[in-house]
A and B are shown apart, each in its own frame.
Chain A
Amino acid sequence: MKILVAVKRVIDYNVKVRVKADQSDVDLANVKMALNPFCEIAVEEAVRLKEQGIADEVVVVSIGPKAVQEQLRTALALGADRAIQVETEELPDSLAVAKLLKGVVEKEQPQLVILGKQAIDSDNNQTGQMLGALTGMPQGTFASKVDMADGSVNVTREVDGGLQTVKLNLPAIVTTDLRLNEPRYASLPNIMKAKRKPLDVTTPDELGVAVTRTVKLLKVEAPAERSAGVKVADVAELVEKLKNEAKVL
């Protein structure tokens, strides 16, 4: 079985972003970039399925400028077999990404597509579901457990009230939640090996997809600042202030 994993290059999760002075966007110049944490979990899950003998090939794909090759190499070092970069100047929106991924799915014919549930930059939580709609595949979103069976997959999903399990016929789409697994670290020998693994570059044109954007970013602002309040000396003072000053008790 072949598994396709989509990965995204995003700002490192520990970095506190700054909004540009002209409010056109956030400032990403000279900021540390990394593999989106949810995508890392997706790669790990695919590699584990390969180690269990369930999958025989793991293909990773990323969309964006040449810099995304860095994240594809990371995924290869974690255990993916080969990589595809869909070269675009800018990062397309979720719908365009889903259309491009559909093109890759049609070419590669994977039995399982694994994506992160959301990218920590745009916080959209859309791409996996949109790919499901475009390909007609069923979806197991926010997965915390993936059990492969013959011809189907049982996905345990994190929902607001607890957990829900769905059974999906293959080919299917899974989006990862944080609790699905603990991603491994790439060892130095594996990082070296990853440099020799195949990385193909394709374009939206070759996939027959026109990248358009219907949602315009008008402005990006810093959120209202919350300033530090006061320190209280003990519990009695805290309760007194909550009752009389903040009036929330």
Chain B
Amino acid sequence: MSILVIAEHDNKELSPATLKTLAAAQAIGGDIDVLVAGEGCQAVAEAAAKAAGVSKVRVADNAAYGHFLAENLGSLVAELGKAYSHILAAATTTGKNFMPRTAALLDVAQISDIIAVESADTFKRPIYAGNAIATVQSEDAIKVITVRATAFDAVAADGGNASIEAVEQVISNDVAAFVGEELAQSERPDLTAARVVISGGRGMQNGENFQLLEKVADKLGAAVGASRAAVDAGFVPNDMQVGQTGKIVAPELYIAVGISGAIQHLAGMKDSKVIVAINKDEEAPIFQVADYGLVADLFDVLPELEQQL
């Protein structure tokens, strides 16, 4: 068996999600090649070559891949992927965007967001907002899979010594073009990789009050998340949303503040190791999954918590 893992990166650094995707690849077993497609991404290729368990890194460094457009990347991966039994990418917005295109070009199904590898053709994945876990078996010759990064432990980032070879193939298109981006600037750890996450919901009442969470987050070295209600109300930008349609997190400690705990929110955080709920409504569903619950007004609790940490 031979596995192609598509690296997730920003043209400068290899994302931790790739190391976790490599862990899923190791669970399948076989030779593992990594494709780094991007623009000016040599440093990423070098980082990927050091990751444990990688046989070969293939670098497609071209302006056509700079912004990870699905039209280009999806076709490139389908071309290169024909020689492999498995193609894996992290289930990030980039992976979710180009991988189904790759699968359709190869005329195979895609298995989205796997949380466990049972065997080389059998995988577990959550359905219905994580309220059921399906075990699925693929009969396709090439398995195209996206991996839920929080479900796998990262492989070592050092110690590997893979060879690096260039991919000359350039696939571009004349129907889709990158126009611009607005990326959120934050000093805090990345939400999906943070050890501690503190999230606010509708109970925060407005965007200014998120400062109360940020102060606690600074003490804990935590990332700040939000429920859909807080995002929809315009308190915070959507890239902070945790849930079925936002980001999936599984930190060691998740603190939910002023969040009722709707099905869609729980889908994004219920695999956290320890869950703390702070809510003044003692009937809130979040208390049914919280290891520690505090029924109190968050505006009293947050300053006190900041002080005591």
Chain A positions within 8 Å of B, measured between CB atoms, are 11, 13-14, 16-17, 19, 26, 93-95, 98, 117-118, 120-134, 136-139, 141-142, 144, 154, 157-169, 172, 177-179, 213-223, 226, 228-232, 234-236, 238-239, 241-242, 246, 248-249
Contacts and interface: CB of A to CB of B under 8 A. Distances in A.
B112 A219 contact: no
B128 interface: yes
Contact of B132 (A17, A126, A161): A17
Contacts of A138: 71, 173, 175-176
A126 B103 CA distance: 9
A141 B98 CA distance: 10
Interface residues of B, number: 91
Judged by DSSP, the binding face of A is mixed
B138 to A, nearest CB: 5
Nearest to A10: B128
A236 B101 contact: no
Contacts of B94: 159-160
A94 B110 contact: yes
Interface of B: 10, 67, 69-71, 74, 92-94, 96-105, 107-113, 122, 126-140, 173-184, 192, 196, 220, 228, 231-232, 237-239, 244-245, 247, 252-253, 263-264, 270, 273-276, 282, 287-296, 301, 304-305, 308-309
Contacts of B173: 138
Given A160-B93, A162-B182, A248-B196, A95 B108 contact: yes
Contacts, number: 258
Contacts of B71: 132, 138-139
A129 B136 contact: no
A136 B237 CA distance: 33
Contact of B253 (A14, A167, A246): A246
Contacts of B74: 129, 133
A124 B110 contact: yes
B18 to A, nearest CB: 13
B100 A130 contact: yes
Contacts of B252: 248
A159 B181 contact: yes
Contacts of B237: 162
Contact of B109 (A118, A158, A177, A215): A215
B305 A238 contact: yes
